[in-house]
Amino acid sequence: MISEKDFIASNYSNIESANFECTAPSNIALVKYWGKKENQIPANPSISFTLNNCKTITKVAFLKKDSEKEFSFDLLFEGKPKEDFKPKIQKFLERIAIYCPYLKEYHLTIDTQNTFPHSSGIASSASGMAALSMNIMCLEKEINPNLSEDLFYKKASFLARLGSGSACRSIKGQVVAWGKNESIAESSDLFGVEFNAIHQNFKSYQDTILLVDKGEKQVSSTVGHDLMFSHPYAEKRFEQAHDNLAKITKILAEGNTEEFIKIVESEALTLHAMMMTSMPYFILMKPNTLEIINKIWKFRSKNNIPVCFTLDAGANVHVLYPENTKEKVIQFIKDELVVYCQNGQYICDEIGKGSQLIMNN
Ligand code: DP6
């Protein structure tokens, strides 16, 4: 079994400079990661659909420097220096330092942008950390050409996880599971693994993200995860996530959209229920979130179309549905749901394949 030690780079050469550009998508969890142990080890396993259109595009220029004592980097967001993002990157680099000892030998110029609007309420930490990790692994591959493709992707996911837990699910695969569980033999707490046994019904699933509240998140995920430490229902919830993961992997393989809906909606509501029943307690939904959920339920029973919702730790609603129902569901969204979105904004996305290297010179 692969362990943390296998991710410590030791055999590598020197190069003067290297430039890469990688993209990584966001993802939407079906079974939610909520609660963690030390060193970004999840309290329970999770599984997500990888998105396609909501992504981060990150260029990194690595330039050899004289001193190897400290990290040195510049951070540009949409081409302009962005000081407030720097502490998070500094912390990330420090966390991964023992696995990527070569990083301190370079000055990094990180230039990043998202395809989705900034502060849309869509978390950019998953796609952002995944895109940065991919760039770092591209450098590692350059200085250690013996690195296998398998280890490349596992380590990219491992590094991304240390930046933000859910980011490890944005590296490779349409459906990715993270966290040791009995249903997926190769699953690990250290990195995300691709779940391949997906039925045709789920292969081109659609996700339309309704932007109900574009403001800053009321509670950061980090604070939310911490609240699970002293949570009265924590143990039961972690058990339930294991059960739901076992159920959903079977559902994804067999193509049962009705059963899919039950797990996915229950997971979303459970995540919010955890926040409502923690101390301190929070309500992350907005009135419009509830209006949308009720409209989806009505539309689903009236039209017999397997459309459902999920939520992340905020008020926005992800509407999930099979591609062959797209026309009808988009019409429904335009007719009945757009009124509940801030400035009528929504984003059409669908299941995607993961991160990509788009430039190497
Ligand atoms: C509700 O991955 O953002 O989206 O590890 O502290 O960075 P950190 O948390 P993060 O948590 C995501 C929580 C979630 C559910 C999920 O994506 O599984």
Cβ–ligand 1 distance for 312 under 6 Å, the answer yes
Cβ–ligand 1 distance for 177 under 6 Å, the answer no
Cβ–ligand 1 distance for 39 under 6 Å, the answer no
How many whole angstroms from 67 Cα to the centroid of ligand 1?
35
How many whole angstroms from 28 Cα to the centroid of ligand 1?
10
Tokens at 295, concatenated:
């409209």
pLDDT band at 293 (very low <50, low <70, confident <90, very high): very high
Q: What percent of the chain has pLDDT over 90?
A: 91
What does pLDDT average to over the chain? 96
Cβ–ligand 1 distance for 165 under 6 Å, the answer yes
Cβ–ligand 1 distance for 261 under 6 Å, the answer no
* C-alpha of 334 from chain center: 27
Q: How far apart are CA 276 and CA 339, in angstroms?
A: 26
How many whole angstroms from 83 Cα to the centroid of ligand 1?
23
Cβ–ligand 1 distance for 170 under 6 Å, the answer no
Please check the confidence at residue 311 and state whether its pLDDT lies above 90: yes
> What pLDDT does 360 receive?
82
Q: Which of 47, 122, 166, 181 has the most ligand 1 atoms within 8 A of CB, as the residue to mutate?
A: 166
Least confident of 156-165, 216-225, 227-236: 216-225
Non-local (6+) Cβ contacts of 210 within 8 A are 292, 316, 317, 318, 319, 333, 337, 338, 340, 341, 346
Cβ–ligand 1 distance for 310 under 6 Å, the answer no
pLDDT band at 120 (very low <50, low <70, confident <90, very high): low
Atom 3 (ligand 1) nearest CA:
221
> What pLDDT does 330 receive?
98
pLDDT band at 87 (very low <50, low <70, confident <90, very high): very high
pLDDT digits (tens, 9 = 90+) for 165-216: 999 999 999 999 999 999 999 999 999 999 999 999 999 999 999 999 877 6
> What pLDDT does 20 receive?
98
> What pLDDT does 129 receive?
97
pLDDT band at 122 (very low <50, low <70, confident <90, very high): confident
pTM to 2 decimal places: 0.97
Nearest ligand 1 atom, CA 161: 5
Non-local (6+) Cβ contacts of 237 within 8 A are 34, 35, 44, 228, 231, 270, 274
Mean pLDDT of 107-121: 87
pLDDT digits (tens, 9 = 90+) for 265-279: 999 999 999 999 999
Residue linked to tokens 């911490």? 226
How many whole angstroms from 278 Cα to the centroid of ligand 1?
17
Q: Which residues pair with 61 in a beta bridge?
A: 19, 109
Neighbours of 240 (CB within 10 A): 16
Instruction: For helices 257-276 and 234-254, give the axis angle rounded to 10 degrees.
Output: 160
Q: How far apart are CA 338 and CA 211, in angstroms?
A: 9
Cβ–ligand 1 distance for 207 under 6 Å, the answer no
pLDDT digits (tens, 9 = 90+) for 315-345: 999 999 999 999 999 999 999 999 999 999 9
Contact 8, 98 (CB under 8 A): yes
pLDDT band at 119 (very low <50, low <70, confident <90, very high): low
Element (H, E) at 272: helix 257-276
